[in-house]
Every structure is written in structure tokens, then in C-alpha cells.
Amino acid sequence: MSRTARWFAAALRRTGGQLVSVDVDEVIQAEARANLVRAGLDDIVELRTADGGVALRELADGSVDALFLDAERVQYASWWPDPVRVLRPGGLLIVDNVLSHPDEVVDISARIEADSSPRSTVVAVGKGELIAVKGG
């Protein structure tokens, strides 16, 4: 489990939230589970072994407060419009590594920019985060 996911989970503990982490690799999920137990965060994180696109398609409209995409960047555009569809109004879509791998996120960035709902910006933190807020 990434530092970012642990950071989100620790913040969610204070707000009573829940984190769902999806990864296709069972070994990574087992390591994440062990890390969560050590950090005392295993009670607020649900780990799912699945394809991210499939997991998004299965979520209800407006059921997600924040969605952090940190997977196979070139696949994100094929998941469209699910990343925005699942967000509640005012929800956040965060795409990781947009400055370090701009060629791999160009398609999803263009879809976000073309959509009338989310307003977005790029923040030069770490390897770059595209942050979009869904309109209501």
C-alpha cells in the first residue's frame, strides 16, 4: 500500500470515512494488508483484488467522495466516463504522475478537460497531481 493510501486512510480515521483500494496483484494486496495491520488502519481500508476499470464500472453513480488514480496510466481513458460518473457532486478526481509521465496521461487529461462537469488543475507536488472537482 502506497504512502498516499496510508495518508488517506489516516485522515479518514478522523472523519469516519472508508477507503477502498483496488489492485490486480494479489501479492501487492497481501503486502498492503500487512502494512495496514502494522499501521493500525486495517479496519477502515477494504482491499479488493480486481481490475480498476471493472471496479469502477461496478460502483453506483455518485457513490465516491474522492477517487485517486495511481495504476496503469494509459488505461485511464478507457475507463471514461466512470471516474466522473461515480463521484458525488463536489467529489475529487486525482490523477497521479501527470508531470512525470505526461505522455501516458494525455488522453485522460483531455477527457477531463473536455468534460463540462469537473474543473481541474495540475499541482506540482511529487510527480504531479491532476486534481478535478466534479460540479454539482
* pLDDT per residue as tens, the chain (136 positions): 667 778 888 888 888 888 888 999 999 889 988 988 999 999 999 899 999 999 999 999 999 999 999 989 999 999 999 999 999 999 999 999 999 999 999 999 999 999 877 799 999 999 999 999 998 7
Question: Do 58 and 48 contact (CB within 8 A), yes or no?
Answer: no
Give me the pLDDT at residue 26, please: 92
* Number of domains, the chain: 2
64 residue type, one letter:
V
**What domain range is 128 assigned to?**
61-136
Question: How large is the C-alpha radius of gyration of the chain?
Answer: 15
Looking at the structure, do residues 23 and 89 belong to the same domain, yes or no?
Answer: no
Whether 125 is covered by a domain: the verdict is: yes
| φ/ψ (deg, to 5) at 107 | -70, -45
Is residue 4 situated within a structural domain?
yes
Q: Are 79 and 56 in contact (CB under 8 A)?
A: yes
Predicted confidence at residue 1, as pLDDT, reads 60
Q: Give the whole-angstrom CA distance, residue 92 versus residue 5.
A: 15
Query: Is residue 16, in this structure, part of any structural domain at all?
Result: yes
Both 35 and 71 in one domain: the answer is: no
CATH of the domain at 104: 3.40.50.150
- The pLDDT of residue 4 is 76
Residues 77 and 107 in one domain: yes
Q: pTM of the entire structure?
A: 0.88
Whether residue 75 is found in the same domain as residue 124: yes
Measured distance CA(26)–CA(92) in Å, rounded: 27
Query: Does 129 lie in the same domain as 66?
Result: yes
Q: Are residues 112 and 72 in the same domain?
A: yes
| Residue 8 forms part of a structural domain | yes
